[in-house]
Amino acid sequence: MGVVQIVTAVIAFAYTALAIGLFVRAGLGMLALVRLGAPDLTRKGERGTRVKTMLRESLGHTRMLQWHWVGLAHWAVFFGFFLLFPALAQSYFEVLNPHWALPIVGHWGPWLLFSEILTVLTGLAILGLFAVRMVRQPRANKVPPQGTASDAGQRRSSSRFEGSRQWMAFYIEATIFTIVLSHMTIRTFKLALGDIEHEWTSPVSSLIAGVWSGASEDGLLTAVTLVALLDILVSWTFFLMLALHPSMGIGWHRVTAFFNIYFKRNAGGAVSLGAAKPMLVKGEPADFEQADPETDPFGVNVITDFSWKGLLDFSTCTECGRCQSQCPAWNTGKPLSPKKLITDLRDHLYEQAPYLKAAAIAKERGTDTVEIEPISIIGTVIDPDVLWSCTTCGACVEQCPVDIEHVDHILDLRRNMVMIESDFPAEAQTMLRNLENKGNPWGENPAQRLKWAEGLDFEVPIAEAGGDFEYLYWVGCAGAYDPKAQKTSRAVATLLHDAGVKFAVLGEAETCTGDSARRIGHEFMYQMLAEQNVETLNEVGAVKIVATCPHCLNTIGNEYEDLGGHYEVVHHTELLGDLVQAGKITPVEQHDGKLTYHDPCYLGRHNRIFTPPRELLGTFAEVTEMPRNAERSFCCGAGGARMWLEEPLGKRVNRERADEAVATGANTVAVGCPFCSTMLRDGVADAGREDVEVIDIAQLLARSREVKAEKAAAAPAE
């Protein structure tokens, strides 16, 4: 061992020990901080299923691959990052003796070939990701004048990287590329030295190794040692940086993402959409007969009111901006960016970390010497307009590659504002008062629940205990009271009646499902309405339910089971599609003109019902898809109780979606949700396109049958 090797070995092993020590200390500190979050007992159990989900999502990159090319590049870097550790281990041998290699596999041809291919792929992938980041830089993607709808919005560019800490990403990309370059360089030195006998094991390096043909053996040996030291220093500097920057999610996610995925709300792998996360008290769903707002936190007010999973979410965010790029609020100039919401909460968490830990230690020791003034998040860390801009469409959750549950955190913050602080938009007060007094957000007379059925040429049966019906038709508040939605209710009832389906409705016994109350943050009112409906549904013996409103479908099908309501709930497009396929609904006349379909968020993303509406439309029309459809469909703007709120900031979400629909050239926009119907109809009108019709699929189906029936009746007379 020469002087160079002695010096490099001392530096390498000392630096490694320092970096590992600081990294482990930082990791334990992060764990201690996350454990300060509120308990969440719903994440227990199903360990085997959770492990499978974690392995499938991480190794298979199932979420990342939703963006195919970026996902493939990240997949290569992911495996390169972990599987190139053996090459790092070899660097320790090389700083001691340049001729040394890993025991057993160090000179084994297949390993050399595999590591060469992996190194090259990792290098190409990181260059690709660097190119994507450069092309998508905010300064190079300014929002056009028509896209900058409000000075109140944060959106100064169309880049998903706006608001991200770019230096961290560039540092990590440079680190990985430097490691790749050092491994390849050492390989070329060893080929020149003759330590690697067969060129086929190093097909790329062998093309470059000739550059060193004139170098001396001593020079090459020294070069191997120095580059190996560089590899070690650069590699462990990465971990040292993580230790010094615990809020560096783009780096820490290489550790925390595995745990974040493992502890996701749905152990089987489904994204945290559909049912809203119940409000937790002492780690379990709130029981309002026992919960005390004086002692129990209702929702979230201070950072430690978030569950430990929430704090883990904040620590895992990579600032990739996928959530931001899909968010309807951010895309229309609102102050909400799901990414910035999470990073602002993360930064606040780590700013408070020393005080929170000190207080926790003092509490464990039974002393009161350490007191911290609780900092309310709302108004200091997060502006209320950020929370009220959310439509709970779930696009952020759908796109997040590390399973951050943005919507759940927004709901928890809203719950505290509404139930404890009574701080919410003034217009929401009317909606909540109507729900409490009339059982519907419009404030209409409950006795008029069946008014929609007037004019039908058959009697709509009312469900009773022991009644002879297969489906309970849940009409919903919109279907009962909104004049436009009433047409959909009549069309569905007529189609079911003509198909011979035995169905019944609740009539005056039906009340609001509580969707708007829950998503605005009034969990208590939601439970009050839900318990009333569950009791009614169980009394009449409802088993199968068909609903025209996706919000009703989602609430009854996914949330009522927590209150003892277990039902098979289908959307009307699913049932009608089955009846068409079975030949029970005929005839069908081809739709005249171009048609596009809008995916309702609570039907599509929240409940994964994408195909049935399209298949039903396909029986009588050709669907022209909008650019943003299915999982990436753009919200109409009504979800999250925004149906009842004003939209003073930015461009109206419904106008943005209406513009997209009109741009397809379609003269008909088919919908499957009464809220979407209202919002898009207003958006189309605002765009000055009165010639474009927004209509429910059931009405289109009923109309197509009538047209063909009329043609058939007129045929003999011609």
Cis peptide before 587, with omega less than 30 degrees from 0? yes
The residues pairing with 157 across neighbouring beta strands, listed in sequence order, are 142
Residue 530, phi-psi category: left (phi > 0), alpha (psi -120 to 50), beta (remainder): alpha
SS3 content of the chain, % helix, strand, coil (to 5): 60, 5, 35
**Residue 306's pLDDT band (cuts 50, 70, 90):** very high
Together in a domain, 327 and 372: yes
Q: Judge whether 148 lies within some domain.
A: no
**pLDDT per residue over 378-427, tens digit each?**
999 999 999 999 999 999 999 999 999 999 999 999 999 999 999 999 99
Of 394, 423, 452, the position where a domain reaches its end is: 423
| Structural domain total, the chain | 3
Q: Does any domain span residue 276?
A: yes
Higher pLDDT, 66 or 53: 53
Q: How many CA atoms, within 13 angstroms, populate the side-chain half-sphere of residue 412? A: 26
- State whether 525 and 609 are in the same domain: yes
Residue 153 has pLDDT above 70, yes or no: no
Do 398 and 438 have their domain in common? no
Measured distance between the N- and C-terminal CA atoms of the chain, rounded to whole angstroms: 105
Out of 230, 246, 262, a domain closes at 246
Residues of the chain above pLDDT 70, percent: 96
Return d(Cα 259, Cα 459) in angstroms, integer.
56
Element (H, E) at 546: strand 544-547
Last residue of a domain, one of 423, 451, 479: 423
For 57, 163, 165, 275, the CA distances from 401, given in Å and listed in that order, are 9, 18, 18, 20
Specify whether 459 is located in the same domain as 600. Answer: yes
CA gap 284, 280 in Å, rounded: 5
**Which pLDDT score is estimated for 195?**
86
The mean per-residue pLDDT over the stretch 696-718 comes to 74
**Residue 119 pLDDT greater than 90, yes or no:** yes
Where is average pLDDT lowest: 163-177, 272-286, 461-475, 584-598?
584-598
Of all residues in the chain, the percent with pLDDT exceeding 90 is: 79
Q: Which residues contact 416 (CB under 8 A, 6 or more apart)?
A: 297, 298, 299, 300, 301, 305, 378, 521
**Mean pLDDT lowest for which of 94-103, 167-176, 572-581, 666-675?**
94-103
pLDDT of residue 150: 46
Which DSSP helix (H) or strand (E) runs through 702? helix 697-714
Per residue in 241-266, pLDDT tens? 999 999 999 999 999 999 999 999 99
Q: How big is the chain, counted in residues?
A: 718
The yes-or-no verdict on residue 668 having pLDDT over 50 is yes
pLDDT at 625 over 50: yes
* Same-domain check for residues 540 and 671: yes
What is the model's pLDDT at position 716?
59
Q: Report if residue 266 sits inside a domain.
A: no
Domain-embedded: residue 10? yes
Average pLDDT rounded to a whole number, residues 195-224:
88
Give the Cα separation of 63 and 31 in Å (integer): 25
Q: Is 176 exposed, middle or buried (0-12, 13-18, 19+ CB in 10 A)?
A: buried
Burial zone of 648 (CB within 10 Å; 0-12 exposed, 13-18 middle, 19+ buried): exposed
Q: What range does the domain containing 128 cover?
A: 3-35+65-138+162-246
Regarding whether 546 and 438 lie in a shared domain, the answer is yes
Do 473 and 368 belong together in one domain?
A: no
Tell whether 490 and 519 lie within a shared domain: yes
Asked if residue 339 belongs to a domain, the reply is yes
For residue 371, pLDDT over 70 is answered with no
Residues 439, 553 share a domain: yes
**Burial class of residue 693, CB neighbours in 10 A (0-12, 13-18, 19+):** middle
User: Which pLDDT belongs to residue 3?
Assistant: 82
Mean per-residue pLDDT, 185-209: 89
The CATH number that applies at residue 355 is 1.10.1060
Is the pTM above the cut of 0.85?
Answer: yes
79: its two tokens: 């495996």
Give dist(CA 76, CA 68) in Å, integer: 12
- Shared-domain flag, residues 396 and 435: no
What does the pLDDT average to over 534-540?
97
Q: Is residue 604 part of a domain?
A: yes
Token pair belonging to 471: 């489906």
**Do 598 and 676 touch, CB atoms closer than 8 A?**
yes
pLDDT of residue 715: 62
How do 280-281 and 284-285 pair as beta strands?
antiparallel
| 483, 387: one domain | no
- The answer to which of 83-87, 244-248, 256-260, 603-607 has the lowest mean pLDDT is 83-87
Residue 157, domain member (yes or no) = no
Rounded distance between C-alpha atoms, residue 246 and residue 163, angstroms: 19
Is the C-alpha dihedral spanning 691, 692, 695, 701 positive or negative?
A: positive
**Residue 153 forms part of a structural domain:** no
User: pLDDT (tens digit, 9 = 90+) per residue, 1-16?
Assistant: 678 888 999 999 999 9
Judge if 556 and 678 occupy the same domain: yes
At residue 197 the predicted structure's pLDDT band, cuts being 50, 70 and 90, is confident
Name the band, by pLDDT with cuts 50, 70 and 90, for residue 149: very low
pLDDT surpasses 70 at 598: yes
Alpha-helical segments (H) within 136-216:
166-193, 205-208
In the three-class reduction of DSSP (H, G, I as helix; E, B as strand; rest coil), residue 539 is classed as: helix
Which residue type is seen at 478?
Answer: A
- For residue 280, what pLDDT is reported? 94
pLDDT at 81: 82
Which uninterrupted H or E stretch holds 80?
helix 68-83
